[in-house]
Amino acid sequence: MLTVNVELGERGYPIVIGAGLLGDQGLAARIGQEVLRQGKIVIVTNDVVAPLYLEKAVAFFADRDCASIVLNDGEAHKTLAAVDTIYDFLLSNKYDRHTTLVALGGGVVGDITGFAAATYLRGIDFVQIPTTLLAQVDSSVGGKTGVNHRLGKNMIGAFYQPRCVIADTDVLSTLPAREIRAGLAEVTKYGLIRDASFFHWLGDHAAQLVSGDPVLMAEVIQTCCRIKAEVVAEDERESGVRALLNLGHTFGHAIETATGYGTWLHGETVAMGTVMAADLSARIGWIDPEDARLIRRILEQNFGMTVVPPADITIERYLDLMASDKKTEQGKLRFILLNAIGQGAIASDIEPGQLVATLEAADRLCE
Ligand code: NAD
Ligand code: GLY
């Protein structure tokens, strides 16, 4: 078991990472005493995760009054309606401010539950128990919570930190291979923006990672959580360096919204967006085209991901969707690009012609 701390003063918290944590009663007792308030627990999960892990999670909180809410699975249900389902349950059962919500699931459950916690009675505690690779390396850490709007991805939300994150690596054994790959796209992001040797290590160990090798997965989760904790401690509300964690996301979110939530997995659109960001970085002379080709090769060939975005999104549609990106400042688009492998940077003066060139070449980027 390893703990990474997110250093945010009184809002700081531990991320506990290890195998078998959900069955560890010693850990449960420590968290119960040192982290949680003495109130009731409500576990929020979905209809895919519940049959797999709800019983275990309830047993983890065995010494507490513990209830559960089971939401519909899927990105298409990451809506205010799902948040309302949580409010309905809490209000109709008179849960008070000492209640702790526990998010048991992937990034969708985590983001919805965090937002419900941020807003119920003006804020109650919550705990993240992430069950996908993507959630263990990214979404459960850092306090971005929220839901989608039909006009844009993650457009309604709040920064609200959990009280702790419990990442039990055993739960990854039931994760479909497609979801492991999607998580690896977010993992790659950390190497690309901050740690070149990690990026190259990922490429060299791709086969074991795609197969979900538990020892390597634990190493990867630790490295990503350490990087994310550092970045969030430096810039909790994304006024600077935290924006780098959005590498590939300006393009990716546009693809996710344009294709309808759930058609492509979030991590899959991040992979497409990362190749687009690498192409744009090379086009403006920030990185060598050979580096852009290497990034595509690792995502496409080593990890087996689709990196070519759907052909039916027009350039006008991309530009319209990207104009709502949360990084836009006074109508000016800002992109997270690469100065080098291992060095992300914010670009706010991209010439429209260069952006359009990347969008036009979408089916043959970095070849
Ligand atoms: P997800 O939550 O939809 O989970 C993927 C699928 O795997 C779902 O069907 C889920 O029910 C299932 N699942 C979960 N755990 C499982 C397990 N252990 N075994 C078998 N199946 C399991 O998707 P995700 O990739 O975890 O998260 C994507 C979401 O996270 C997106 O909505 C994205 O916007 C969000 N996100 C948020 C942040 C943040 O900082 N808050 C960061 C990155 C992504
Ligand atoms: N996933 C991007 C962030 O947490 O900032």
Q: Which of 107, 118, 209, 204 is nearest to 165 (CA)?
A: 107
Q: Is 238 helix (H, G, I), strand (E, B) or coil?
A: coil
In a domain, 126, yes or no: yes
- Looking at the structure, do residues 133 and 232 belong to the same domain, yes or no? no
**Whether the CB of 242 sits within 6 Å of ligand 2:** yes
CATH of the domain at 360: 1.20.1090.10
Residues 142 and 224 in one domain: no
What's the pLDDT at 1?
87
Q: Tell me the torsion sign for CA atoms 35, 36, 41, 42.
A: negative
Same domain, 145 and 225: no
The residue from 125, 148, 174 where one domain ends is 174
Known active-site residue 253 = yes
Q: Which of 238, 256, 283, 334 is catalytic?
A: 238
CA of 360 to the centre of ligand 1 (A): 30
Q: Determine if ligand 1 sits within 6 Å of the CB of residue 246.
A: no
What are 32's two structure tokens? 């119960």
Does the annotation place 35 within a ligand binding site?
A: no
Say if residue 108 carries a ligand binding annotation. Answer: yes
Element (H, E) at 129: strand 125-130
CA distances from 137 to 233, 317, 326 (A): 16, 31, 22
From the candidates 163, 189, 194, 253, which is the catalytic residue? 253
Residue 43 has pLDDT above 90, yes or no: yes
Q: How far is the CA of 348 from the centre of ligand 1 (A)?
A: 30
Residue 138 Cα: closest atom of ligand 2 = 1
Is 112 among the domain residues? yes
Q: Does 153 lie in the same domain as 82? A: yes
> Measured in angstroms, how far is the CA atom of residue 63 from the centroid of ligand 2?
34
| Candidates 148, 163, 179, 186; catalytic one | 186
Last residue of a domain, one of 147, 174, 201: 174
pLDDT at residue 327 above 90? no
Q: What is the pLDDT of residue 366?
A: 83
Assess if residue 335 is contained within a domain. yes
Boundaries of domain holding 154: 2-174
Instruction: Please check whether residues 234 and 326 belong to one and the same domain.
Output: yes
Position 87 scores a pLDDT of 98
Which residue among 128, 134, 238 has the greatest number of ligand 1 atoms within 8 angstroms of its CB, and so is best to mutate? 134
232 lines ligand 2 (CB under 6 A): no
The answer on whether 110 is annotated among ligand-binding residues is yes
Residue located nearest, by CA, to atom 2 of ligand 1:
106
Q: How confident is the model at residue 307 (pLDDT cuts 50, 70, 90)?
A: very high
Distance CA 150, CA 80 (A): 11
Nearest CA to ligand 2 atom 3: 245
At 8 the pLDDT is 98
Average pLDDT of span 21-34: 96
User: Can you tell me which residue has the tokens 């009675």?
Assistant: 121
Q: Of 121-130, 236-245, 267-276, 356-365, which gets the smallest average pLDDT?
A: 356-365
Distance (Å) from CA 290 to ligand 1 centroid: 32
How remote is the CA of residue 245 from the centroid of ligand 2, in Å? 5
Rounded Cα gap, residues 312 and 329, in angstroms: 28
The verdict on 9 and 94 lying in the same domain is: yes
Specify if 316 maps to a domain.
yes
Whether residues 154 and 253 share a domain: the answer is: no
Active site residue 189: no
Residues 9 and 157 in one domain: yes
| Beta bridge partners of residue 5, listed in sequence order | 14
Q: What is the CATH number of the domain that holds 164?
A: 3.40.50.1970
- Give the residue-averaged pLDDT of 100-123: 98
| Percent of the chain clearing pLDDT 70 (strictly above) | 100
Residue 314: pLDDT over 90:
yes
Residues 131 and 262 in one domain: no
CB of 138 shorter than 6 A to ligand 2: yes
- At residue 329, the pLDDT reads 81
User: Does the beta carbon of 75 lie inside 6 Å of ligand 1?
Assistant: yes
188 found inside a domain: no
Is the four-CA dihedral 251, 77, 82, 66 of positive or negative sign?
negative
Give the contacts of 138 (CB within 8 A, at least 6 positions apart).
107, 186, 224, 228, 245
**Residue 45: half-sphere exposure toward Cβ, Cα within 13 Å:** 23
Mean pLDDT of the 321-338 span? 89
Domain annotation covers residue 199: no
Are 56 and 156 members of one domain? yes
Kindly state whether residues 244 and 299 are assigned to the same domain: yes
Asked if residue 358 lies in contact with residue 365, where contact means CB atoms within 8 angstroms, the answer is yes
Asked if the structure places residue 197 within a domain, the reply is no
Average pLDDT, the chain: 96
298-303 long-range contacts, CB within 8 A, separation 24+: 298/188, 298/199, 298/202, 298/203, 298/206, 299/185, 299/188, 299/271, 299/274, 299/275, 300/275, 302/203, 302/206, 302/207, 303/181, 303/184, 303/185, 303/188, 303/206, 303/209, 303/210, 303/271
- For residues 18 and 132, state if they share a domain: yes
Task: State yes or no: pLDDT of 363 exceeds 90.
Answer: no
* 75 annotated among ligand-binding-site residues: yes
pLDDT of residue 362: 84
**Is residue 328's pLDDT more than 90?**
no
Which H/E stretch holds residue 127?
strand 125-130
Query: Looking at per-residue confidence, does 109 or 261 come out higher?
Result: 109
pLDDT digits (tens, 9 = 90+) for 162-172: 999 999 999 99
* Coarse DSSP helix, strand, coil percentages of the chain, rounded to the nearest 5 percent: 55, 20, 30
Consult the annotation and say whether 342 binds a ligand: no
Residues contacting residue 135 through CB under 8 Å, at least 6 positions apart: 105, 106, 107, 110, 128
Q: Domain total for the chain? A: 2
User: In this predicted structure, what is the pLDDT of residue 117?
Assistant: 98
Best mutation site among 15, 46, 77, 111 for ligand 1 pocket (most ligand atoms within 8 Å of CB): 111
For residue 67, pLDDT beyond 90: yes
pLDDT in tens, 248-305: 999 999 999 999 998 999 999 999 999 999 999 999 999 999 999 999 999 999 999 9
Residue 197 pLDDT exceeds 90: yes
Give pLDDT, residue 164.
98
Is residue 91 situated within a structural domain?
Answer: yes
| For residue 114, pLDDT beyond 90 | yes
Q: What pLDDT is attached to residue 74? A: 97
